[in-house]
Amino acid sequence: MSLSKIAACISLVLLILAGVFLINIRTDLDLLKQYDFDTKEQNTSFAADLRTGLLLIGTGQNNLLAYNSDGEILWKYSAGGIFKEILISETSGEIYAGNEDRNIYVLDSENGKLLRTIPIRGKFYDMDLDRENGLLIVSSGISAVKHYISLIDREGNSLWEKNIEITSRGAAIFQEKIIYGTDRGELILIDLSGRELKKLKLDGQVMDLIINDEGEIACLTDRGSLYFTNLNLEQSGGVQVRGNAESFSVLWDQSKVFIGMKNGSLHILEKSGKILDTINFPLAISRVYVDEQSVTVTCRDGFLYTMDNSDINDIPKNKVKMGIAVSLAVLASIVLIITLFFIFPAITALFSRFFGTLYQHRTAYLMLLPIFVLLIFFHYYPVMIAIIRSFTDWSVHKDTINFNGLDNFRLMLDEGYFLAGLKNLGILSGMAFLKLFTMPLLAAKLVFHMRERFKGSFRLLFVLPMVVPGVVVAMVWQNIYDPNVGLLNNFLEILNLEQLQQVWLGNEKTAIWSIIFMGFPFVDAFAFLVYYGGLINISPELFEASNLDGANGWWNFWKIQIPLITPQIKMLIILVFVGIIQDFAPILILTGGGPGISTYVPGLELYYNVTRFGRFGYASALGLVMFIFIFAGTLLNLRIKTSSANEL
């Protein structure tokens, strides 16, 4: 006993030591200093003047704020749009600030006075300043096909501009060479006169690009690939991170790369591609800025996060130290727990009983483990999220998720798409039931009454159309409805019924009925088999008895067969109901909900909200409502089943 007490004491001391050690290691967030001022706005761009210690922050609230290194605000300049890029000209002490209001403002760094305004064509995207000759290259655009690269001299006169007909988010100038990247994933080199010299194809949209003093180019794409090339666009290296990259910077003399992501992660990498560290910020990173002294990061909040360049080399060392401390702590905790068991026998008994049970039935639990791991990830967790987030404004366009009560459900009633979809869903499900109760049952009855030698082959033939995939069925029917080469219009033509010819899927009146008519003559293989299975499982003696009583086939059908296949009918009703609410794929293929919203269904509305609009909260709410419909329908169906069973 005393031995275990000593062990417990020693491990406790070790644990405390490890804790102290851990606290003393500078963790990622300690490496990061946060300036103790808050712009209370969304920071979008940043630049620092090392000589004067001036910090310039552009914000989403259309302000350009200047702070000194103590965090005191010096001056503020407001414009009509977001400041996207700030450059400081060390030679002249001028600040160039590109703004989305179609202007570049040149300000005096001393007092923030406007020196001059350079108007540009279209929305500002990016610019770069050749500090030797004062030439400014600007990328700006009006639309995806009207985008201009312009060269502007020191006085603000445009030397030339060139419509490159594709958005460019990054442009740079160095020693009479201009480089810009496009949304088509090209890096293009032009000379000072605007003549294209060379082109390099990259893997995705170019998000940003920079050139260092030695003429090395670094270029980031939205796929998270960073390319290094020389001035002739010959690739010299590259790194890759996962996710959507937003901004990056390179610390050339230390060969370190910093990539800021839209999800708020800052990746610190070696130029060789090895990831040294990842720091997670609460919000999307808007800008990563590197100068000779420090790395500065702005997120979409009001703070500035900064890191001394000298500390960056400590990151790997810190990782090792951290590893030692953590393993020490883990070891000490294990020893402590074991000794505690010896000291307190009651805990030991409890634990041994729990683990004993687990161990005794280990086969069962181990076999269930993969099943439940999958279910937790892809079923239980999504169900939980779907229900909770139905009441939030969850969306791709926002970094935070806030509860908004019943807004999503109110939106369903207000927007009208859902209600229009519901009306169509009513028509579709009514017709689906009508189809279900007639044709497959008729086919099953026909095969059921056939002689033994025909049964097998006819049964097989009725099931055979099942081999055509649903997508192909939908597309073949799309072809059948084709106004020019479709079977339907051609058939009407040989019947001399040209006046009935239609653009079946393009007409608001006929589109929904064309979707309903798809699959004619509606002998669904599955329903057919279920009906057939129900019929053959009825004991033949029942028919013999009723035939002796003088019953005819019709009576047998209504009074014996239908009641006895009720379970199958109920099951099919549930399946068809669940299926018609959920399966919007044929509609997506045939009409996409149109023309207008004449074939819209709620499932389609959900799909569009997830994939096109990114309104996840609203889509979850739609899913929840559809789930409630399905649930209510199923319960109702089960209730009817029990009551009719009682009557029998």
Sheet holding 103-108, edge to edge: 83-89, 94-99, 103-108, 114-119
Contact stretch for other proteins (CB under 8 A) within 33-41, 97-105, 406-414, 623-631: 623-631
- Give the residue among 288, 286, 296, 252 at the shortest CA–CA distance from 270: 252
Locate 330 and state its tokens: 């883990």
Q: Is 626 in the site for other proteins (CB under 8 A)?
A: yes
Region 30-89 residues binding other proteins, contact defined as CB under 8 A = none
Contact stretch for other proteins (CB under 8 A) within 145-153, 160-168, 505-513, 584-592: 584-592
Nearest approach, Cβ of residue 299 and other proteins (Å): 19
In this chain, which of 50, 142, 343, 476 binds other proteins, going by CB under 8 A? 476
What is the C-alpha R_g of the chain? 35
Contact stretch for other proteins (CB under 8 A) within 279-287, 310-318, 382-390, 417-425: 382-390
Q: What mask of x and - would describe binding to other proteins in positions 589 to 608, judged by CB under 8 A?
A: x-------------x--xx-
Nearest approach, Cβ of residue 434 and other proteins (Å): 17
Contact stretch for other proteins (CB under 8 A) within 86-94, 360-368, 418-426, 499-507: 360-368
State the greatest distance between any 2 C-alpha atoms of the chain, in Å, as a whole number: 113
In this chain, which of 29, 144, 406, 487 binds other proteins, going by CB under 8 A? 487
Q: Is 334 in the site for other proteins (CB under 8 A)?
A: no
3-state secondary structure 28-48: HHHHCEECCCCCCCCEEEEEE
Nearest approach, Cβ of residue 238 and other proteins (Å): 19
Q: Is 242 in the site for other proteins (CB under 8 A)?
A: yes
In this chain, which of 96, 281, 391, 477 binds other proteins, going by CB under 8 A? 477
In this chain, which of 596, 631, 636, 645 binds other proteins, going by CB under 8 A? 631
Under 8 Å between Cβ of 172 and 209: yes
How far is the C-alpha of 437 from the C-alpha of 527, rounded, in Å?
Answer: 9
How far is the C-alpha of 403 from the C-alpha of 415, rounded, in Å?
Answer: 20
Q: Is 584 in the site for other proteins (CB under 8 A)?
A: yes
Sheet holding 43-49, edge to edge: 43-49, 54-59, 63-67, 73-78
In degrees rounded to 5, what are phi and psi of residue 552? Answer: -100, 180
Write the DSSP string, 227-260: EEE-TT--EEEEEE-SS-EEEEEEEGGGTEEEEE
* Residue bearing tokens 């009551």: 643
Between residues 340 and 630, which has the closer beta carbon with respect to other proteins? Answer: 630
Region 510-539 residues binding other proteins, contact defined as CB under 8 A = 520-521, 523, 526, 529-530, 532-534, 536-537
Region 394-453 residues binding other proteins, contact defined as CB under 8 A = 439, 442-443, 446-447, 449-451
Q: Is 382 in the site for other proteins (CB under 8 A)?
A: yes
Amino acid at 65: L
Nearest approach, Cβ of residue 515 and other proteins (Å): 15
Q: Is 371 in the site for other proteins (CB under 8 A)?
A: yes
Q: Is 550 in the site for other proteins (CB under 8 A)?
A: no
The number of residues that bind other proteins (CB under 8 A) is: 99
Under 8 Å between Cβ of 586 and 474: yes
Nearest approach, Cβ of residue 126 and other proteins (Å): 27
Q: Is 3 in the site for other proteins (CB under 8 A)?
A: no
Sheet holding 177-181, edge to edge: 170-174, 177-181, 186-191, 196-201
Nearest approach, Cβ of residue 165 and other proteins (Å): 24
Q: Is 468 in the site for other proteins (CB under 8 A)?
A: yes
Q: Is 578 in the site for other proteins (CB under 8 A)?
A: yes
Between residues 566 and 598, which has the closer beta carbon with respect to other proteins? Answer: 566
In this chain, which of 91, 363, 499, 643 binds other proteins, going by CB under 8 A? 363
Nearest approach, Cβ of residue 395 and other proteins (Å): 11
β-sheet bridge partners, residue 360: none
Nearest approach, Cβ of residue 404 and other proteins (Å): 16
Q: How many CA atoms lie within 13 A of 225 on its CB side?
A: 15
Nearest approach, Cβ of residue 504 and other proteins (Å): 15
340-352 burial code (b ≥16 CB/10 A, e <16): eeeeeeeeeeeee
Q: Is 166 in the site for other proteins (CB under 8 A)?
A: no
How crowded is residue 16: how many other Cβ atoms within 10 Å of its Cβ?
12
Nearest approach, Cβ of residue 226 and other proteins (Å): 17
With vertex at residue 318, the alpha carbon angle to CA 314 and CA 323, rounded to the nearest 5 degrees, is 160
